[in-house]
Amino acid sequence: VIVDPDGLSVDQSYTLLIGSVVPRPIAWTSSISAAGKRNLAPFSFFTVVSVAPPMLLIAIEPASDRAMKDTISNVRQTGNFAVNVVSLELADEMAFTSEEHSPDVDEFEIAGLTPVRSEVIAAPRVGEALITMECVLEQTLKPGDYDLLIGRIVRFHISDELISDGRIDIGKLRPLGRLAGTYTAVDRIFRLPLGGAPASARQ
């Protein structure tokens, strides 16, 4: 089928996007309100937008019938957030923090996670995460219906056991990937070429 997105409802567009842009990494985002209330929530509309300086982007759904998502309201108040990487072992805790909890609920507490003080920013990080990136809000954008938060990484926290030959060992990190409502684990890692010539040279 060929689809012109102009004719799609929001739900239809969302369904095509989450099935086509896969697998997606998950930014398990911790933040804190000006009053000091901690928050934690996952976002898979997430990518790198700059290397020097290092910057990340998360895209947050517009507010519907309920108030603004706590993450965006906290980041607007305090100007910082931390992105924690979700290893397979933390999948259930991550999913639990995605449920709608009122702003006065501390998702660290209800998910049984350890809030650890960050080095530079006010938002805490997830003690159990093997990688956390402390971010300072650099820019907000709204090119479409989602709010984009661009954060500049001011600290990487990387578990020592992950480092081999100066690189991060993805096999040890075991990052969780988001599909269309489902998830995937990294259980096969390989280099290219797989073998054989590229399709264009095979004719």
- Contact positions toward ligand FMN, by CB under 6 A? 26, 39, 41-45, 59-61, 69-71, 95, 98, 100, 178
To ligand FMN, the closest distance from the beta carbon of 71 in angstroms equals 3
Q: What are phi and psi of 126, to 5 degrees?
A: -85, 115
Judged by CB, which is closer to ligand FMN: 43, or 108?
43
Closest CA to 58 of 91, 84, 29, 87: 29
Edge-to-edge strands, sheet with 38-43: 38-43, 27-32, 80-85, 131-141, 147-158, 54-60, 46-51
Judged by CB, which is closer to ligand FMN: 45, or 108?
45
Judged by CB, which is closer to ligand FMN: 42, or 151?
42
Q: Residue 89 and residue 175: Cα distance in Å, rounded? A: 9
To ligand FMN, the closest distance from the beta carbon of 21 in angstroms equals 11
Residues 46, 56: contact at Cβ < 8 Å?
Answer: yes
Judged by CB, which is closer to ligand FMN: 182, or 203?
182
Q: Which helix (H) or strand (E) holds 184?
A: strand 183-185
To ligand FMN, the closest distance from the beta carbon of 57 in angstroms equals 10
178 by DSSP, 3-state: which?
A: strand
Judged by CB, which is closer to ligand FMN: 119, or 142?
142
Q: Which helix (H) or strand (E) holds 29?
A: strand 27-32
Judged by CB, which is closer to ligand FMN: 100, or 165?
100
To ligand FMN, the closest distance from the beta carbon of 193 in angstroms equals 32
To ligand FMN, the closest distance from the beta carbon of 156 in angstroms equals 22
To ligand FMN, the closest distance from the beta carbon of 33 in angstroms equals 11
Name 56's Cβ contacts closer than 8 Å, sequence gap at least 6: 27, 46, 47, 48, 49, 83, 133, 135, 150, 151, 153
